[in-house]
Chain A
Amino acid sequence: MKKLLSVFGVFLILLAVICAAGCVSEEQTEPTQLKIATTTSLYDTGLLDAVQDYYLEKFNVDLLITSQGTGKAIASAMNGDVDVLLVHSPSQEEAFIADGYGVNHRGIAYNYFVIVGPADDPAGIAGMTPEEGVTRLKELGDAGTEGITFISRGDNSGTHSAEKNIWKSAGFNYTAQITGSGPWYKETGAGMGDSLTTAGQLGAYILTDEATYLTYKKNNNLSLEVIIDEGTTLLNRYTVMTIDPAKYPNTNVKDATAFTNWLISEDGQNFIGSFGAETYGKSLFTPMNTLVNSSLPPFNIDSTTPAVIPTA
């Protein structure tokens, strides 16, 4: 019996120690909490973890960041589950604001999507515009050329929207002519990193944001190389929005507004602009304040006007 008790005792102590470690951080009630929904491609670079640490220390606000793909991020924002939305899908952002869910829309940073593929470029599309490149891929794919595969996210993510936009700009009807048009076009329905792995394994072409590509290439010996990286349809613009308190009066608009203003402040812009430079040899994001006027095409986003706390 004694032995049994001691075994049980050790077990309890172990539990208590582990629980204490787990609970301490949860009981930090002093900082206020700001809930942010964002997309995997932004979160997976590690930028927001760095922002989270910095922001807590400097402003005593805990950023609760959840990253679940653009579709889910927007859905949770529409349900009022978060205070701030950070995404990169112009058409979906527009709809979100038109439906009255978002206010204080500001641009925070941009980089470029790139089309990556096997180093030997079997389709010979290097140096083409994105539109010419995908047209060539479609022609070769339809002809059943050996070794030509294009991987699509196929998940209504920001990157998927950008890909559809390129097909449209190249003169194709995505639903009728591209998706399901043959074995050359494969949809993973997975996140950016998983899709990149799939493309790497299959030796396929894929549209990816540059940041995830660089992260993945460094961490995971991804065998794909950048094939096309120039063209206006490759612009990847990240923006922030506050959930309109008219829809959900119980969200944290005060901290949301302060956070928006920090992101577009010089301090915030420098923070974003310098992120990743050490690890990847180049920064992963270009801050908006490097532009003379971000309101002009192709950016089309205000990135300087200070946000004012919205009222219901």
Chain B
Amino acid sequence: MGEITDGFLEAIMLIVTMNPEIMEIAGRSLYVSIIATFVAALIAIPIGALIYYYDFHGKRAVINIVQTLYALPTVIVGLLVYLLVSNSGPLGSLKLLYTTNAMIIAQVVLVSPLIVGLTIAALSGLDKEMKYTTMALNARAYRAMMTLVREAKYAVLSAVVLAFGRAIAEVGAVMMVGGNIRHFTRTLTTAITLNTSMGEFATSIALGIILLTIALIVNFGVNILQHHHGRMKDD
């Protein structure tokens, strides 16, 4: 019990004093996960729209596979990316291992299925009529898809926020490919793991609180955007 209260006190101290090492770690967590979520969204939203838009043989199976990949264990993603970028792996010459870029790649792999699946779900939530109307009105398929995504933008945005949450909170993959190197690849989650194994429980809890605060700020920001947007449309 003492550790929890100590953790809260330490979290407040670390935040108030802007502890440089903690700020650096928090900044890196944000940097990696925001870029990863952004890249994953760029890849996954169009894929989701494509799968939704076209009817093809085995579509249900594809959606099933995508949804199964939500449960992709983070350590397995880390291991696969590690084997890929390791010096003895196929991409070894790029020297990506133990860099933030490798961590971004791992998180992109991790959260892309989530965005693909939830984009499909978001679009499926639209009125069926709309799909056919949009298809009829737009000569080009990509324009029709863009219109549909725009119609479902809040649900798609929620998917992206959820993906960000999974990215910033995961520890297995960034530990594997980043190596938790101080001043280079240490993030909030790997620092929590390290401090826990060092017996510094209060610091771990403090870092956990900082991570949650960041998630809160991001969600809050997105909510404000949605809210404002929603109101402006109503006016």
Contact = CB atoms under 8 A, between A and B. Distances in A.
A3 B228 contact: yes
Secondary structure of the B contact surface, majority rule: helix
A222 B200 CA distance: 12
Given A3-B228, A21-B24, A250-B87, A44 B181 contact: no
Contacts of B17: none
| Top 4 A-B residue pairs of the complex, sorted by shortest distance between their CB atoms | A22-B27, A66-B179, A220-B199, A80-B87
Contacts of B98: 35, 64, 66, 81
Interface stretch (A130-138, A148-156, A188-196, A296-304): A188-196
B119 to A, nearest CB: 23
Interface stretch (B28-36, B106-114, B158-166): B28-36
Interface string A184-217: 0000000111101100000000000000000110
A213 to B, nearest CB: 10
A197 B201 CA distance: 11
A40 B197 contact: yes
Contact of B30 (A1, A3, A19, A194): A19
Given A3-B228, A4-B228, A26-B184, A193 B199 contact: yes
B232 interface: yes
Interface string B210-235: 00000001000100110011001000
Interface string B181-209: 11110000000001011111100000000
Interface residues of A, number: 46
A52 B181 CA distance: 11
A25 interface: yes
Interface residues of B, number: 37
A198 B181 CA distance: 26
B86 A7 contact: no
Interface of A: 1, 3-4, 7-8, 11, 14-15, 18-23, 25-26, 35, 40, 44, 46, 49, 52, 62, 64-68, 76, 79-81, 191-194, 196-197, 215-216, 219-220, 222, 248, 250-251
B23 interface: yes
Contact of A23 (B31, B34, B87, B224): B31
Secondary structure of the A contact surface, majority rule: helix
B182 A79 contact: no
Given A35-B98, A66-B180, A193 B24 contact: no
A80 B179 CA distance: 14
Contacts of B232: 1, 4
A7 B225 contact: yes
Given A52-B182, A64-B98, A18 B228 contact: no
